[in-house]
Amino acid sequence: MNHPSRHIVIIGQGAAGLAAAVSAAETVRVHKLPIRITLIDKARESDAGGNTRWSPSNMRMMAPDRVEPSFVPDMLAATDHKGDADYFATLAANAPEVGAWMASRGVEFIQPPYYLAKGPPRIQPVGGGAGLVARFAGIARAEGVDIRYACGAEELVVDGGRVVGVVVASGDKRETLGADAVVLASGGFQGNAEMMLRHFGPGADTMRLISPGTRFATGDGIRMALAIGASPCGNWSGCHAVGWDMNAPEFGDLAVGDQFQKHSYPFAIMVNATGRRFVDEGADFRNYTYAKYGAVVLRQPNNFAWQVFDGKIVPMLRDEYRIKRVSKVSANTIEEFAHKLEGVNAEAFLDEIKKYNAAVKKDVKFDPNVKDGRCTMGLAVNKSNWANTIEEPPFEAYQVGCGVSFTFGGVRIDPDSGQVIDSDMNPIPGLYAAGELVGGIFYFNYPGGSGLMSGAVFGKIAGTGAASGRNA
């Protein structure tokens, strides 16, 4: 085996891998270290960039005026106190500085207009995730990083307990890249149907990927790390999952983008195959429920739900309800409507509507802009806000399944160095990780704007750690 002593291999060209590559290269340049850096991605250049490339890449806390003093308690609350407080403290301490570093390296940011109006403040790279990947990759190349596409990592090489290389495949050609340090940044396992079935159970094969770039996230980095004794961490049966058109293609569609999502459900009711409601659609604003209700839909019989609206709400539906490729039925009478809801027990549905309409607290005014407290009372599953009766034609319903963005389970890292931790809780010499394949950051739900920030912060830490050999 060719075994150069000074070589870092970074696996994956998303935000995490690119932040690692640029920070490693900078460390090498500043300290005049004799280290080569290679970044590999198993996708061709036109497809590489993972979820990062297809996301708008809104980032929280990445500028000094966007710091959230309550970030750690907020993340602990968002994860039901199962998330790793050390990770969150590291993210809070480093995010503004990492944002400033990215800006100083030439990544331009804007304030996304949506967040001027509401929600915690964010910044966004010019050109969204695609802009970020293109810019960051350009900076990495200018720093001398060798980027190889269509080159997939398959296996880590270990010698005396230390990672000394990685076996990669480019088409039919397999070779071993010797390395002092390997940084895993190859995303989650959402693109691996077998792993999804194993961790999410029956029905997981009906899940659809919401971003075309993520079909390459097949859990390779996680698998390779576990194979050499890495400690699994986090919520392995949890993922960022949304209500997604039931008939959307397996890997999304570039022309449609995120318009297969269906996010007006807080003003609707959702019923499953039994004709019954199953979740509090109005528990909170969309931003706080959309990333977890996809998984709730997945758990329903035959893994689908119909979102049901009446004529009062139809004019308020978000734009994504008006696209051509949409699984929609409509009718002018509720009886005809009930029989159009494919796969649903129509009699039970009609009974459900009657009971739901009767339970709506009609003396409270509907207000979509605040949690209006217009609820239902006395139902097995009550609706907390925005409870509108289903009685005015035209009736419209949209069939959704579960669309997955990324998985939450992964490997454990030392947040200070980015090193992967083994099952005896010791760092694995020569192995670092960042991004979606780090477990322990998200459980049950996803607080918006955290994925990219986490990828960039832990990516920079891992790149610096790999180049400086910290704790290795």
Taking CB atoms within 8 Å and a gap of at least 24, the contacts of 164-173 are 164/3, 164/430, 165/1, 165/3, 165/9, 166/9, 166/11, 166/224, 168/40
Number of C-beta neighbours around residue 332 at 10 A: 10
Q: Which of 14, 99, 234, 463 binds ligand FAD (CB under 6 A)?
A: 14
Tell me if 185 contacts ligand FAD by CB under 6 A: yes
Among the listed ranges 67-75, 185-193, 226-234, 372-380, the one in contact with ligand FAD (CB under 6 A) is 185-193
Do 7 and 36 meet the contact criterion of CB atoms below 8 Å apart?
A: yes
| Secondary structure of residue 73 in the 3-state scheme | helix
Binders in 141-170 for ligand FAD, by CB under 6 A: 152-153
Of 385, 390, 380, 332, nearest in space to 358 by CA: 390
Length of the chain: 472
Please state the closest distance from residue 454 (CB atom) to ligand FAD, in A.
Answer: 7
Nearer to ligand FAD, 12 or 203 (CB): 12
74 part of the interface to ligand FAD, by CB under 6 A? no
Compare residues 14 and 440 and give the one whose CB is closer to ligand FAD. 14
Near ligand FAD in 51-70, by CB under 6 A: 51-52, 54-59
Tokens 């986090």 sit on residue: 234
Report in angstroms how near the CB of residue 287 gets to ligand FAD at its nearest.
Answer: 11
- Selected range binding ligand FAD among 50-58, 89-97, 300-308, 364-372, rule: CB under 6 A: 50-58
Interface pick for ligand FAD out of 90, 186, 307, 388 (rule CB under 6 A): 186
C-beta separation of 401 from 244 below 8 A: yes
From candidates 9, 17, 147, 245, binder to ligand FAD by CB under 6 A:
17
**Residues from 421 through 450 that contact ligand FAD (CB under 6 A):** 435-436, 449-450
Q: Does residue 13 bind ligand FAD (CB under 6 A)?
A: yes
**Is 406 a binder of ligand FAD (CB under 6 A)?**
yes
Q: Name the residue with tokens 């609820």.
A: 375
Rule CB under 6 A: say whether 455 interacts with ligand FAD: yes
42 binds ligand FAD (CB under 6 A): yes
Which parts of 331-350 interact with ligand FAD (CB under 6 A)?
none
Q: 438: which DSSP letter? A: B
Output 9 or 341, the one with its CB closest to ligand FAD.
Answer: 9
Pick the closest to residue 460 from 4, 6, 10 (CA basis): 10
Size of the residue set binding ligand FAD (CB under 6 A): 44
For β-strands 173-178 and 109-110, DSSP reports them as unpaired
35: Cβ–Cβ under 8 A, 6 or more apart, which residues? 6, 7, 8, 24, 28, 180, 467
Which among 186, 168, 185, 169 has a CA at the least distance from the CA of 177? 168
Nearer to ligand FAD (CB atom), residue 251 or residue 366 = 251
Candidate residues 210, 230, 273, 462; the one interacting with ligand FAD per rule CB under 6 A: 210
Tell me the C-alpha distance between 10 and 343, whole Å.
47
CA pair distance 157, 135, nearest whole angstrom? 32
User: Closer to ligand FAD at the Cβ: 185 or 305?
Assistant: 185
Q: 47 vs 392, which CB is nearer to ligand FAD?
A: 47
Question: What residues does 176 pair with on adjacent strands?
Answer: 167
Task: Tell me if 241 contacts ligand FAD by CB under 6 A.
Answer: no
SS (H, E, C) 223-238: HHHHHCCECEECCCCC
Q: Are the C-beta atoms of residues 329 and 422 closer than 8 Å to each other?
A: no
CB of 240 to ligand FAD, least distance (A): 7
The least CB distance from residue 448 to ligand FAD, in Å, is 6
The two three-digit tokens of residue 293, written as one number? 């209700």
Per rule CB under 6 A, is residue 49 in the interface with ligand FAD?
yes
238 or 282, CB closer to ligand FAD? Answer: 238
Region from 86-94, 137-145, 211-219, 358-366 binding ligand FAD, contact rule CB under 6 A = 211-219
Residues in contact with ligand FAD by CB under 6 A are 11-17, 40-43, 48-52, 54-59, 152-153, 185-187, 210-211, 214, 216-217, 220, 258, 405-406, 435-436, 449-453, 455
